[in-house]
Amino acid sequence: MTTFNDFGLHADINRALAAKDYSTPTPIQVQAIPPLMKGRDLCGIAQTGTGKTAGFSLPSIHHLLTYPHRPTPRGCRMLVLAPTRELAAQIAQSCRDYGRFTKLSVSTVFGGVPINKQIRDLSQGVDILVATPGRLLDLIDQRALRLDDVEIFVLDEADQMMDMGFIHSLRRVAKLLPSRRQNLFFSATMPKEIAGLADQFLNDPVTVSVAPQATTAEKVRQQITFVEQKEKQALLHHVLKTEDIDRALIFTRTKHGADRVVRHLKGAGIEAFAIHGNKSQAQRTTALQAFRSGQVKLLVATDIAARGIDVSGVSHVINFEIPNVPEQYVHRIGRTARAGAEGIAISFVAPDEKPYIRDIERVTRTRAEPVKLPEGFNEMVRNLPKPATPPRDTGGRGRDPQRQREEAVRKRDGGQPRGERGPRREGAAGEGQPQRKRRFRPRRGGVGAHKGAVTRVG
Ligand code: AMP
């Protein structure tokens, strides 16, 4: 069996791995690290949860340490592109963890937060820069960043980048990179157009692939219940009452659907946070922190917002609404059953969602176990508590726990930076898929200005 010592990684990296208690490399690490150590390009077909971040960052950090030199002003030695702010922040955190016994600097830049601090952070240059594409290009346009000294380029979650409409941004980035560099390309799925994009970036790559989608789906206990759309709230209450839930991620197709679920839960005195593209950066961070730490057991999310989020101990994924793209379903249920743990995915299927289930079964080559509506369900529907009234932009601050925690984070971070709205193409892009029924009509309110803090780590 391969161990981390077999890779010949720099001693400071091995120390960090020991500190993190990693003993055995994951399959993607076993496959990816040796060719990357030799400087090869890599095409990785793997999704979050497989250990791919360590798979690409360990050999890259090794390279940066083996050929030490200061980054050029406004430049970076390693550039990682990720589709969402959350994933970018998570990758940066991993790089900081793996590089904690080194002097390497790690910065993240993404939209939705003021750009000036990011400009200052980059002025001296950084070793590792993790960015979302839109803000990266903004910084380049403002001459705060140049890419001509990039030695290692990583494109993460390429399929998600395409879905979010980042293709033109990526092509622009590709033109700005120096021709001599190492390229790493990751995607959970590899349909033709993604393979085409990979070709543009990669030079004679080694291809590695782990956990094909069917395998991921097989690890999760999947259940489906057929229920009318308007009765899903009652079913959710029942599931939350009867299932032994450590942490549950509840998925809706739209941002407004997510807010609605949260309001219904609140109406019944159940605390839950929502995470989606209409939330400010501070709200998203607060919600994730509360969910990670176990303060809040329920997180209601849209697909885009939840992509790449790595939270261990998610016992249940509840598909309050069924995605119309089977791959999204695979991504969703992949949030549970991490690292061999038992996971349960429960899908609430309305009559008009039945065709989606057939597509999902075809793609995952699995069949979910049907679960009947509970006895006395009509009674439950009748007795369902009323949803909480939505908080207005100005009122209700003190009563909404997500808002309260956000206020606390803001105070801690030193007041309210004048948030700028992140470009639509970033983070929020791709959300708000067509709303299917009038019942999802957007409601105003609840979300303040976009605020947040730039992360500079390392
Ligand atoms: P990733 O797919 O990179 O998001 O990693 C998923 C999770 O697995 C993260 O929480 C990592 O800290 C963890 N992880 C990565 N590699 C290992 C390993 N070799 N042993 C134990 N945990 C790991």
H or E element, residue 235: helix 232-242
Number of domains observed in the structure of the chain: 2
User: Which residue minimizes the CA distance to atom 6 of ligand 1?
Assistant: 49
- Looking at residue 211, its pLDDT comes to 60
CA dihedral 352, 228, 441, 261 (to 10 degrees): -120
- Looking at residue 420, its pLDDT comes to 27
- Looking at residue 450, its pLDDT comes to 28
- Residue of 283, 279, 286 whose CA lies nearest to 304: 279
End-of-domain residue from the set 387, 403, 426: 387
Domain presence at residue 170:
yes
Domain presence at residue 245:
yes
Pocket probe for ligand 1: among 2, 9, 22, 80, the residue whose CB has the most ligand atoms within 8 Å is: 22
User: Which residue minimizes the CA distance to atom 13 of ligand 1?
Assistant: 51
pLDDT reading at 418 higher than 80: no
Q: Is 182 in the pocket of ligand 1 (CB under 6 A)?
A: no
End-of-domain residue from the set 387, 402, 424: 387
- Looking at residue 344, its pLDDT comes to 93
The reply to whether 83 and 21 lie within a common domain is: yes
The reply to whether 165 and 231 lie within a common domain is: no
Please give the single-letter amino acid code of residue 88: A
Which residue has tokens 């959300």? 431
pLDDT reading at 284 higher than 90: no
User: Which residue minimizes the CA distance to atom 8 of ligand 1?
Assistant: 51
User: Which residue minimizes the CA distance to atom 19 of ligand 1?
Assistant: 25
| 98-112, 176-190, 215-229, 283-297, range with the lowest pLDDT | 215-229
Q: 137: Cβ–Cβ under 8 A, 6 or more apart, which residues?
A: 169, 172, 173
Domain presence at residue 21:
yes
- Looking at residue 435, its pLDDT comes to 30
Domain presence at residue 134:
yes
Q: Is 417 in the pocket of ligand 1 (CB under 6 A)?
A: no
Measured distance CA(132)–CA(423) in Å, rounded:
11
Write down the mean pLDDT value for the chain: 83
pLDDT-based confidence at residue 189 (cuts at 50, 70, 90): confident
pLDDT-based confidence at residue 404 (cuts at 50, 70, 90): low
pLDDT reading at 438 higher than 50: no
Domain presence at residue 424:
no
- Residue of 111, 136, 110, 107 whose CA lies nearest to 122: 107
End-of-domain residue from the set 387, 414, 448: 387
Ligand 1 centroid to Cα of residue 103, in Å, is 22
The reply to whether 248 and 116 lie within a common domain is: no
- Residue of 285, 317, 296, 262 whose CA lies nearest to 84: 285
The reply to whether 48 and 122 lie within a common domain is: yes
User: Which residue minimizes the CA distance to atom 10 of ligand 1?
Assistant: 310
**More confident of the two residues 456 and 140:** 140
Please give the single-letter amino acid code of residue 101: F
The reply to whether 27 and 173 lie within a common domain is: yes
The reply to whether 295 and 166 lie within a common domain is: no
The reply to whether 204 and 224 lie within a common domain is: no
Ligand 1 centroid to Cα of residue 20, in Å, is 10
User: Which residue minimizes the CA distance to atom 11 of ligand 1?
Assistant: 51
Q: Is 57 in the pocket of ligand 1 (CB under 6 A)?
A: no
User: Which residue minimizes the CA distance to atom 17 of ligand 1?
Assistant: 51
Domain presence at residue 407:
no
CATH of the domain at 371: 3.40.50.300
pLDDT reading at 402 higher than 70: no
- Looking at residue 212, its pLDDT comes to 52
**More confident of the two residues 416 and 51:** 51
Mean pLDDT of 105-133: 96
User: In terms of C-beta density within 10 A (0-12 exposed, 13-18 middle, 19 or more buried), how is residue 438 classed?
Assistant: exposed
Q: How far is CA 382 from the centre of its chain?
A: 37
The reply to whether 263 and 336 lie within a common domain is: yes
**More confident of the two residues 425 and 59:** 59
Mean pLDDT of 343-362: 91
Domain presence at residue 214:
no
Measured distance CA(244)–CA(316) in Å, rounded:
9
Q: How many CB atoms lie within 10 A of CB 452?
A: 24
Interval 123-168: pLDDT, tens:
999 999 999 999 999 999 999 999 999 999 999 999 889 888 899 9
**pLDDT above 90 as % of the chain:** 59
Measured distance CA(399)–CA(11) in Å, rounded:
51
- Looking at residue 123, its pLDDT comes to 97
Q: What 3-state class would DSSP assign to 343?
A: strand
| 102-116, 377-391, 432-446, range with the lowest pLDDT | 432-446
The reply to whether 195 and 255 lie within a common domain is: no
| Ranges 276-280, 343-347, 447-451, most confident | 343-347
- Residue of 248, 250, 251 whose CA lies nearest to 314: 248
Q: Is 48 in the pocket of ligand 1 (CB under 6 A)?
A: yes
In what order do the strands lie in the sheet containing 456-457? 206-209, 42-45, 182-187, 152-155, 76-81, 126-131, 106-109, 456-457
Q: How many CB atoms lie within 10 A of CB 423?
A: 18
Mean pLDDT of 384-406: 60
The reply to whether 234 and 204 lie within a common domain is: no
Atom of ligand 1 nearest to the CA of 94: 12
Q: What 3-state class would DSSP assign to 209?
A: strand
The reply to whether 262 and 190 lie within a common domain is: no
Measured distance CA(44)–CA(168) in Å, rounded:
22
**More confident of the two residues 436 and 113:** 113
- Looking at residue 18, its pLDDT comes to 94
User: Which residue minimizes the CA distance to atom 23 of ligand 1?
Assistant: 51
Q: Is 44 in the pocket of ligand 1 (CB under 6 A)?
A: no
- Looking at residue 427, its pLDDT comes to 38
Measured distance CA(377)–CA(113) in Å, rounded:
46
User: Which residue minimizes the CA distance to atom 14 of ligand 1?
Assistant: 51
Interval 338-350: pLDDT, tens:
655 578 999 999 9
Domain presence at residue 452:
no
Ligand 1 centroid to Cα of residue 23, in Å, is 11
Measured distance CA(94)–CA(74) in Å, rounded:
23
**Percent of the chain that is helix, strand, coil (3-state, to 5):** 40, 15, 45
Q: Is 50 in the pocket of ligand 1 (CB under 6 A)?
A: yes
Q: 254: Cβ–Cβ under 8 A, 6 or more apart, which residues?
A: 302, 321, 431, 432, 433, 435, 440
Spell 344-366 as b/e; 16+ CB within 10 A means b.
bbbbbbbeebeebbebbbebbeb
**More confident of the two residues 116 and 407:** 116
Q: How many CB atoms lie within 10 A of CB 115?
A: 16
| Ranges 187-196, 398-407, 427-436, most confident | 187-196
Q: Is 49 in the pocket of ligand 1 (CB under 6 A)?
A: yes
Mean pLDDT of 29-55: 92
Q: How far is CA 58 from the centre of its chain?
A: 20
Contact between 81 and 173 under an 8 Å Cβ cutoff? The reply is yes
**More confident of the two residues 456 and 9:** 9
Contact between 100 and 124 under an 8 Å Cβ cutoff? The reply is no
The reply to whether 247 and 177 lie within a common domain is: no
Print the domain residue range for 256. 220-387
pLDDT reading at 169 higher than 80: yes
